[in-house]
Structure 1
Amino acid sequence: MTKTNWSRFSKLALALVVLLSALAGPVGAVSVASENVPNESQVGSQVTATATLDELYRNPQLESWTLAGETDLEDVTWTVTYYDQTGAKVDQQSFDGQNFSGAQVAAGDGTSEVEISVTGTVPEVEAYSYDPAQTFTLISLDQTREGGSSNDIDTWTAHHYTEDSAAARAELDSAQAAIQSASGANTQQAQQTFNNAVEAFNGEEFNLATNLANEAETSANQAQQSSQTTQLLIYAAGGLLVVALIAGGFLYWRSQQTTYDKLG
């Protein structure tokens, strides 16, 4: 390749890099430093979830942006607290409602970390599901830049339940464990009953789901016991056969010895 062609190739490659960078857009500039978010909560209970953001200005051209949040909690209060590099509080804002926006994050204010805390009431379950378990959005955070473009920072979900659904789920878990423990036995009936229990759970028929789960667990335990009994009988029969063969061999040997003695 000549020097002229190489120069043209270099310019073309540089142009492509610039074009691809422009199309890709800026990379998300925020990371989650820590979080304190419950994995599950009972419907109607009040919960608090907290997330702390740092590395707020990874892009040198991004010196300020706007934070927005969303939750499925009800009767919600948001608290956004700003800290500098020493950990000292710079500012604090409060918002009400399931959505908030307009929380300004700016390097010029000395902000190095932002803590977002949301408190509210766990909502009703719209649709129950055994596997995967039904969830709701606890916190969803977005970064909005000047011009309207935005990045999803992170989203946290949690399992929500009622007292009845939790009791039914516990029975289903126990039945499923019994079926898995009886691996190798004939658990077809137990599995079918368990499947019916799951359908009842998903249909919010928790009493029926509990009863069917108990039946499935009993069936699985009986299948395992029957399988173990059958194995013991097989082992016993095998042992008797070995003893019979040994005894028969011994008697045959004795009979042969007696015959030799008479001939002698």
Structure 2
Amino acid sequence: MKHFKKTSFLALVLGWIGQIITHIIWSNLRYGNASSGDTGVVIFWSSFFLLIYYSLFILLPGKRIIKLSENNGILIFTILSGVYALIGFTILIGWVFLISNNFLGVFIDASICGVIFGLTFHLIWNKKRNELKQIHLIPILTLPIIFLFIYLFAFPKLLPSLAYNVVPQYVRHDILKNTIPKFKVGDELSKLQKTLPGEFDFKDCHGNQGAMLENFQYVIEVNCCKIIRIEYGPRQKTGYTMGGKRNPCN
């Protein structure tokens, strides 16, 4: 069972990464960004419940899972794994979403996790088991940490404009906080919109927008497709004043 634990845990980690990516895609399709889909919350709680799922629904019936993998083709086993994950998720926490009839996209996440688990486990256990024996457990255990480091830190730092709509809310706010000070009065609105896609949508290139984040506040006023006012700084008890008269464009 030692090799089963290593194989199953690796398959589950890949399933967890797959379901996070699925949730990001689902959130963007439904809300326009990953932040509005509570991606950060999903990452945290899915990790917690997957450990419980792993103990109850994978380790305990481990021998049965091995037999199913060895006696069924990869397609059948993968489908069964997806259905099994949905059942396990529903028993553990999914029933709450069914009762509230809200945020049902998490069932898609659970099924994707199960499908990737089944596909990965079947491939490794039946074809690559000997190769996996040579791999130490530590790289497998650190795989989630490496993924989170790239997703939550490296990616936003290196490619903030691409990461802006696919990261959790607190990372999104960090990108906003680090980006706003790079602009000044006279800069083109289009450049701001390209850097922070989807954040600033001024009708007819005129208007103002501001926000008070956890430790940062700002206000930006636009006229004739150019920034005519920009203020930012640490959050205070009162925010910046909003408004402004529209001037004719030359």
> Which structure shows the bigger proportion of residues in strand conformation?
1
> Which structure shows the bigger proportion of residues in helix conformation?
2
Q: TM-score, normalised by structure 2?
A: 0.23
Larger Rg, first or second structure (1 or 2): 1
Q: TM-score, normalised by structure 1?
A: 0.22
Identify the structure with bigger relative contact order (alpha carbons < 8 Å, sequence gap 6+): 2
